[in-house]
Amino acid sequence: MSLGADEPEEINGNHKESAIASSCSQQSNISSLLADIRDDNVNTTKRLNQGFMQYGCSHYRRRCQIRASCCNEIFDCRHCHNEAKNNINVEGKLRHDLPRHEIQLVICSLCGTKQEQVGQVCVNGGVCMGKYFCKTCKFYDDDTSRRAMHHDCPVCFEYLFESRNDITVMPYGHTIHMNCLKEMRQHLQYAYPLCSKSVCDMSKVWEKLDMEIAATPMPESYHDKKVWILCNDCGATSEVQFHVVAQKCLSCNSYNTRQTRGF
């Protein structure tokens, strides 16, 4: 009878051991699966980054070339094409440019595969042909600092992405041609055309305005006149004493302000 009484406990013990073994096996399978996924991710990242900043030309660092539809020749970029096809040694009537939107065929620089469709990753080797990629412009570049230039210069309206002239980045992130910025200063224009922020340190100018305002008192009837202003430099709004010369921001002491209401 005692043996019969012990049998359920033995069976339950066997079930527990079996469940534990099954659980360990499942955990082992999950760990193995996660390890495989991790290895696949590492391998994918290696493929994507292969040849990074090692290919390209004097204009761009990229891992692809283009075939110009106009002459069926292969170049590193359209600027390379335009330089070659507008060379002084080329007969005048044969000289021509390649507009960026006419680029149709892209070739991977690492494996030489022609891409059926314009895309960022090579359809054959899985290589990222440009860390920065614009499908609309068919543009590739491993130098991602140029992404801030995907617009026109606010002064001359040249497309900065393709400009061969020197470009500078303002402290607030906007970009502009160096020569255009210099020309603005020569014409006493110190506010960026798009956001109206100051393009340089204006503290000395603000000090002169302080002195000019102090030397130009307003008539007594204006002593209680106040206006609300918006500072173009720091974005703060302030209620300040009206003055015909300028209104000073109470937050950053800039005179690069505009009146929003009052008076």
Model confidence at 63, pLDDT cuts 50, 70, 90, reads very high
pLDDT value for 1: 46
Query: By C-alpha distance, which of 19, 20, 23 is closest to 31?
Result: 23
Residue type, 188: L
Unique residue bearing structure tokens 């004097």: 58
pLDDT value for 9: 56
Under 8 Å between Cβ of 140 and 52 = no
Distances (CA, A) of 43 to 108, 112, 253: 19, 21, 54
pLDDT value for 257: 95
107-122 per-position pLDDT tens digit: 999 999 999 888 899 9
Q: What is the mean pLDDT of the chain?
A: 83
- Does the pLDDT value for residue 41 go beyond 70? no
pLDDT value for 143: 83
Reply yes or no on domain 203-262 having CATH 2.20.28.10: yes
DSSP H or E stretch at residue 110: none
pLDDT value for 38: 61
- Does the pLDDT value for residue 83 go beyond 80? yes
Domain formed by 151-200, architecture: 2-Layer Sandwich (3.30)
pLDDT value for 172: 76
pLDDT value for 13: 56
DSSP H or E stretch at residue 29: helix 2-49
Here the tokens at position 173 are 């992130």
- Does the pLDDT value for residue 151 go beyond 70? yes
Which neighbouring-strand residues pair with 159?
Answer: 152
221-249 per-position pLDDT tens digit: 888 899 999 999 988 999 999 999 999 99
pLDDT value for 6: 53
- Does the pLDDT value for residue 51 go beyond 70? yes
Spans of all domains in the chain:
64-147, 151-200, 203-262
Distances (CA, A) of 188 to 182, 191, 200: 10, 9, 12
Residue type, 244: V
